[in-house]
Homo-oligomer: A and B are copies of this chain.
Amino acid sequence: MATHTFHPTRYYSTFGSHAPVLRIAPGDTVITTTVDARGLDAREEQLSAGVNPQTGPFYIEGAEPGDTLVVHLEHLYPNRNTGWSSTILAPHVVDPWAVPDIPERMDGRWRFDRDAGTATLLEPETPLGAWVLPLAPMLGCLGVAPDGGEAISSATCGPHGGNMDYRGFRAGVTAYFPVFVPGALFFVGDGHAVQGAGEIAGTGIETSFDVRFKVDLRKGQRICWPRGQDEGFIFTTGNARPLDQAAQHATTEMIRWLQEDYGLDARAVGILLGQGVEYEVGNFFDPDYTMVCKVAKSFL
């Protein structure tokens, strides 16, 4: 049950079987940092050139293919007072005929009041003026090394997790990942101070983060897609295109969860989800989109 403080010195832009930066045991806690999506750290120094540079991979002792990695997200918070964002919508989230109306891409600049918990728009000047938003810190990327020797860009996502851009991956949440390789090889990165659903501008308010998480292991429990839970809900994610297929993956994973862990048969699951399911849009930007299937704990 050790606590490790880890200062990253290199970053990866793929989720793959890279040499571990730290070996930790189930029950251990890691205190570390992430750089922003362009590789800038707390002092706005660029430490990595790739997109969505990841901290890790962390090797979890004893993790083997077929297990489930449990990650308690204990603390996620900007470690600097500035963030940046896209200021235009991605062309694929609007009707094709409306694409030419999208203005040219430029950066938005934001200042955080970390005590008050707010982000304020500094520029560009628009009718929004100095728009103030409550901070809602979340991790755009988290996940493990994929199956089959693949190395998948941190710009997209899959059964291993990755760039899911789901606002539900915030402090207080427990995330679950399938283990595909020995040690699981866990990565985190791409912190967003705030993000709209779908990350439809292609960014949240991007910044560097302080991160604290604790890991655990469920030996021999195989899951197929990242899962999670918070105070009120259990949820599953599906990562694919189109959104329909992402929703199919998430729904099927939820069926599996309800049948295996909650004692429901197929018909009870049909009734429960039919009248009680909820969906959220994770990322609607990457090559593979993310849909989230949720069930209220009050129903279970």
Contacts and interface: CB of A to CB of B under 8 A. Distances in A.
A150 interface: yes
B50 A249 contact: no
Interface string A237-272: 000111111011101100100000001111111111
Given A201-B270, A277-B196, A126 B265 contact: yes
Interface string A148-170: 11111101000000000000000
A86 B128 contact: no
A270 B103 contact: yes
Given A126-B271, A197-B279, A248-B93, A151 B149 contact: yes
Interface stretch (A28-36, A65-73, A94-102): A94-102
Interface residues of A, number: 87
Interface in A74-97: 85-97
A267 B91 contact: no
A14 interface: yes
A232 interface: no
A271 B85 contact: yes
B128 A272 contact: yes
A242 B245 CA distance: 9
Interface of A: 13-14, 16, 50-51, 85-103, 106, 108, 121, 124, 126-128, 131, 133, 148-153, 155, 194-205, 240-245, 247-249, 251-252, 255, 263-281, 284, 287, 289, 299
